[in-house]
Amino acid sequence: MNIRDFKTSLYKEMAGMIKALDNPRRLEILDLLAQGPVPVEYIAVNTNLSVANASQHLQVLKNSYLVESERRGKYNYYKLANQQVFNAWCAIRRLGFSQNEEIFELLDSFRKERGYLKTVSTEDLIKMIREDSVVVIDVRPEEEFKNGHIENALSFPRKDLQHRMNELPSDREIVAYCRGPLCEMADDAVEMLNKNGYSASRLEKGYPDWAASQHPTQKE
């Protein structure tokens, strides 16, 4: 193989992996799989896809070496192939925010519609935890909480928050987090808490980013 053919083959393989990401549903699936291994049925429900369509997208990601699967009983569980895949997703996300003004405007508009929502950085949350001045709640579904969560965080799935709100102290700051900066569950939770007299804010990122930075986590 001459040098030209060699380089063409290399770039073709690289382009194939990038092409697998050229779909909004697959990016959403990567964001979901960053929370931990889940079966295709769970992916379908959480992305508003049919099981057949979710399976097709997963197969594309798997053929591009971005996703792996393992058999657990009668179910196939899917997960990100490795940490590098999550790092690549984070890089795409950062690139989108820095280079595409429309992405930032969409997110900003979405949050302004819900009134003023205060965000907390990872560094600020770490300080608040050390000072014992905060209650941290995980508003993702319980399945994702069990796969891993911020150390000592409480599980308050978004769908249950309305009727469980009285379990939270009204005299302490509450920080809610979810899957990441593109996830709206924490925004919804903070809006609901603030309307009911709580002082609440959302973590600007999500659990996978927290775990990737090797901050303390727990797993059920």
Where residue 220 falls among pLDDT bands split at 50, 70, 90? Answer: confident
Q: Give the whole-angstrom CA distance, residue 202 versus residue 217.
A: 18
Percentage with pLDDT > 70 across the chain: 99
The b/e string for 10-31 (b: 16+ C-beta within 10 A; e otherwise) is: eeeeeeeeeebbeeebbbbbbb
Average pLDDT, the chain: 93
Segments making up each domain of the chain, as ranges: 3-86, 109-218
pLDDT for residue 5: 83
Name the active-site residue from 178, 185, 190, 193.
Answer: 178
Instruction: Select the CATH number that applies to the domain covering 109-218 from these four: 3.30.800.10, 3.30.420.40, 3.40.50.970, 3.40.250.10.
Output: 3.40.250.10
Residue 113 pLDDT greater than 80, yes or no: no
DSSP state of 27: H
pLDDT (tens digit per residue) in 114-154: 776 789 999 999 999 999 999 999 999 999 999 999 999 99
User: pLDDT-derived band of residue 106, with 50, 70 and 90 as boundaries?
Assistant: confident
What is the tens place of the pLDDT at every residue in 49-98?
999 999 999 999 999 999 999 999 888 999 999 999 999 999 999 999 88
Sequence-ordered alpha helix ranges (H) in the chain: 3-20, 24-33, 40-47, 51-63, 83-99, 101-112, 122-130, 142-147, 161-164, 185-195, 207-212
Domain 3-86, architecture per CATH? Orthogonal Bundle (1.10)
Please say if 90 is a catalytic residue.
Answer: no
